[in-house]
Amino acid sequence: MSWVSHYDSSTKIKTPVQGFCAYLQESHEIHLRIDDPVRATKACWDLPVRHCKNVGDKLPVLLATNYDLVLA
């Protein structure tokens, strides 16, 4: 079991999928690998990381995304 989840925006349900995420300190990237046979998704990404401008409780420290993940 992994903590990587598929989020269905219409039902607002998160479903666990096989995969992992690791922060690469030297390159300042997040390596994300997903294997989700239900949705025919098997891929990996190295995403550039940016520090979030706002700080506080329940706010992320790092943010990584790309155009492909936004469309998913």
Contact 30, 62 (CB under 8 A): yes
Question: Taking the domains of the chain in order of start, what are their residue ranges?
Answer: 20-71
Tell which residue, 59, 57, 72, 69, has the closest CA to residue 32: 69
Please give the share of the chain, as a percent, with pLDDT higher than 90: 31
Q: Are 18 and 36 in contact (CB under 8 A)?
A: yes
Q: What is the mean pLDDT of the chain?
A: 82
**What is the DSSP secondary structure assignment for residue 55, as one 8-state letter?**
-
Note the pLDDT of residue 68: 54
Give tens-digit pLDDT for 30-61: 899 999 999 999 999 888 887 777 778 887 77
The pLDDT value given to residue 10: 95
pLDDT of the residue at 47: 87
**Cα three-residue angle 46-72-36, rounded to 5 degrees:** 75
Could you tell me the pLDDT band of residue 1, with boundaries at 50, 70 and 90?
low
